Structure 1
Amino acid sequence: MKFDLHTHHFRCGHADGNIRDYIEAGIAVGLDAIGISDHTPYFGSPSEQAFPLIAMGKSELTHYVDEVLSLKKEYEGTIDVLLGIESDYFAEYAEVYRKILSAYPFDYVIGSVHNVKGISIFNKNRWKNLTPQEQIADKTEYYRMIAESARSGMFQILGHIDAMKGNYPPFSDIPTPGPIDECLRVIGECGVSIEINTSGGTKLCGGWYPSDAILERALFWGVEVTFGSDAHKPSRVADDWELVASRLKEIGYTEWVYYKQRQKINVPL
């Protein structure tokens, strides 16, 4: 069973191709299931599209859902097209997001933390002039927010849980073993899965999210895993899928999961 649950398309403003392009790419690489999971609109502003290069406009959400469901029917029997979405986690707007997303028949929702203290996690300049103690504080807050997102009950999957290293590789060396372990304990306790996200290979860190060290601790805490390429162009669909499966076996995992109608399906590795 080969699947990829994390793909984007043109509506978010920073990805190439339409939804059909990603489905066809999935068929070409032998996927049994492909999840379409573009970024939600930003619901923390009254604007139609507050961030046109980051997330789709509010009026596009229904069109997005309708298109995925239409393509799901069209490709039935060839590939299982899953309706997903990637949602930022903002504690102050969590109930707004929860209410809106609950109105649609998503197979799963990916919860991702992209901003800490109001600054993008991918902004490498955020680390300039920080003392070691301030770096630890920012990394600790990142994992506190991820744990809080797990507790929210809004998500089936947590996205790229060490992506803060993406454009700042030294992030991994900032010593925060306690907060990371506590975060993983909470995730395992809440029954939410984490994705192995191969888009890290397109960033300065040059590796998957999360690191092997975090995956080893995740296994200890009983955290289940899934796969997402986080493809922003069709050619990246299922990127490194076989390598990830092999590495997970080496770490000690025997299965991973995907979701349909928000129900978890276990798949042997």
Structure 2
Amino acid sequence: MKFDLHTHHFRCGHADGNIRDYIEAGLSAGLSAIGISDHTPYFGSPEEQAYPRIAMAKSELAFYVDEVLSLKKEYEGRIDVLLGIESDYFPQYAELYRTTLARHPFDYIIGSVHYVADVSIFNKGRWKGLNRSDQIAAKTEYYRLIAESARSGMFQILGHIDAMKGNYPAFSEIPAPGPLDDCLRTIGESGVAIEINTSGKTKLSGGWYPSDAILERALHFGVEVTFGSDAHKPSRVADELDDVAARLKEIGFKHWVYFKQREKVTVAL
């Protein structure tokens, strides 16, 4: 069985195509299930659409849910359309996000840390002028936030857990093995899955999130894995899915998972 749980569409303001386009791409790729998981609105902002080029407007959320559920019915028997969403993790707004998202019948929620110290993890400028101690502190805080998101109980999946390397490949060389292992241990204990996300190829780092080295540590700590292309255009749906499955087997994983009605479904690799 093949699936892809991480896709976006036009509502977020930085992806191409509509939801139907991604479902059709999933059918063409031979998927049994496709998850639609656009970015949550910025619920903590007083503005209706705080960042039009990053996330949907608050008023769009209900339309998004209704559209996915309608298409789920339409495509029933051909492909399983799963209602997901990618949620930012902001500790100060965690309960607001939790209660707002609980109003909708999501099959799963992807929790992603996109900001550390109020600066985007993809902002290349955040690393300018930092000494090694400052770099270690930033990486440590990143993994602390990811671990906190795993403990929150808000998410079934954690998104792209080393994406801070995306526009700063040297991130991977910053020595912080303790915080990373602590994070992976927490994820394993929390029963949350991490995604293998193939969108790293669209950033300066190239490759996948997370790295093979992190996946090897994740296996050691009993972390479950899933797959998400993080497609922002339909042509990337299921991108490198078979390659990821093969690499996971080489590392030692026997299965991966997806989620339906918040329940974990195990699929042999």
Give, in whole Å, the separation in 1 of the partners of 2:56 and 2:201. 25
Give, in whole Å, the separation in 1 of the partners of 2:17 and 2:75. 18
- Residue aligning to 2:43: 43
Question: Aligned letter for 2:136?
Answer: I
Which ranges in structure 1 are unaligned for 5 or more consecutive residues? none
Give, in whole Å, the separation in 1 of the partners of 2:154 and 2:59. 22
Shift of 1:173: 0.2
How do residues 1-269 of structure 1 correspond to structure 2 at under 5 angstroms?
1-269=1-269
TM-score of the pair, normalised by structure 2: 1.00
Question: Aligned letter for 2:55?
Answer: A
Give, in whole Å, the separation in 2 of the partners of 1:126 and 1:100. 31
Question: Aligned letter for 2:191?
Answer: G
Give, in whole Å, the separation in 2 of the partners of 1:171 and 1:77. 44
Question: Aligned letter for 1:226?
Answer: T
1:93-141 CA distance string (max 9 Å, x none): 0000000000100000000000000110001111010000000000000
3-state SS of 1:253 partner: coil
Shift of 1:250: 0.3
1:61-115 CA distance string (max 9 Å, x none): 0000000000000000000000000000000000000000001000000000000
Question: Aligned letter for 2:252?
Answer: G
Give, in whole Å, the separation in 1 of the partners of 2:228 and 2:236. 10
Give, in whole Å, the separation in 1 of the partners of 2:78 and 2:125. 45
Shift of 1:27: 0.3
Shift of 1:36: 0.1
Give, in whole Å, the separation in 1 of the partners of 2:197 and 2:206. 12
Give, in whole Å, the separation in 2 of the partners of 1:194 and 1:237. 18
Give, in whole Å, the separation in 2 of the partners of 1:131 and 1:234. 41
Give, in whole Å, the separation in 2 of the partners of 1:129 and 1:142. 18
Give, in whole Å, the separation in 2 of the partners of 1:45 and 1:236. 31
Which ranges in structure 2 are unaligned for 5 or more consecutive residues? none
Give, in whole Å, the separation in 2 of the partners of 1:227 and 1:141. 25
Question: Aligned letter for 1:186?
Answer: T
Give, in whole Å, the separation in 2 of the partners of 1:31 and 1:137. 41
Give, in whole Å, the separation in 1 of the partners of 2:244 and 2:50. 36
3-state SS of 1:61 partner: helix
Give, in whole Å, the separation in 2 of the partners of 1:177 and 1:56. 36
Question: Aligned letter for 1:164?
Answer: M
Give, in whole Å, the separation in 2 of the partners of 1:136 and 1:162. 14
Shift of 1:46: 1.4
Shift of 1:7: 0.1
3-state SS of 1:56 partner: coil
TM-score of the pair, normalised by structure 1: 1.00
Give, in whole Å, the separation in 1 of the partners of 2:173 and 2:124. 15
3-state SS of 1:81 partner: strand
Give, in whole Å, the separation in 1 of the partners of 2:261 and 2:103. 13
1:134-159 CA distance string (max 9 Å, x none): 00000000000000000000000000
CA RMSD of aligned residues (A): 0.3
Give the % identical residues: 79
Give, in whole Å, the separation in 2 of the partners of 1:195 and 1:141. 20
The alignment of Structure 1 onto Structure 2 pairs a total of residues equal to 269
Question: Aligned letter for 1:130?
Answer: L
